[in-house]
Amino acid sequence: MSYSAHCSVLVALAFGSVSACTADRSVHAATEPAPPPPSQPDLRIELVYDRVTPSLYAGGSRFVLYGDGTFDLQYAIGGYSGRYSRADSTLAFQFDALNTLGPWRAVGAVHGDTLAVKFNDFMQMTDFEDGAYVRP
């Protein structure tokens, strides 16, 4: 076999292998399921409670509870986030923020449309005020 014939056979074999691999890959791609889309947290607002008791802070505050177990305590100039859990009429709030003394937590008791919130000692030492919040 001449040199040019030998090269032609190698080139033909190489292209045949590439096309076989390409065809094989397309068959597998067609039969493999697509990966599931990334899950998005349910940020649908479940409940909103606006503060009704007097506060030292202008603009008031409110608790916004989301369907994925997270919440925001919103003030006119910012806010705090965290996670909550519910057992009957009691809400336990665990804030993402904390101070050097310990974790920030609060407990809420729901009575009808009213949420009575009591902040733990660590939060009260940083000027958080217990109070009542009502659903608008």
Question: 67-97 in b/e burial notation, b at 16+ Cβ within 10 A?
Answer: eeebbbbbbeeeebebebeeeeeebebebee
User: How confident is the model at residue 115, as a pLDDT?
Assistant: 97
- Copy the structure tokens of residue 42: 């349910």
pTM reported for the whole predicted model: 0.66
pLDDT digits (tens, 9 = 90+) for 36-94: 554 554 457 889 999 999 887 777 899 999 999 999 999 988 899 999 999 999 999 99
Q: 98 pLDDT band (50/70/90 cuts)?
A: confident
| Burial bucket for residue 51 (CB in 10 Å: 0-12, 13-18, 19+) | buried
Report how far residue 98's alpha carbon sits from residue 83's, in angstroms, rounded to the nearest whole number: 13
pLDDT digits (tens, 9 = 90+) for 27-52: 444 444 555 554 554 457 889 999 99
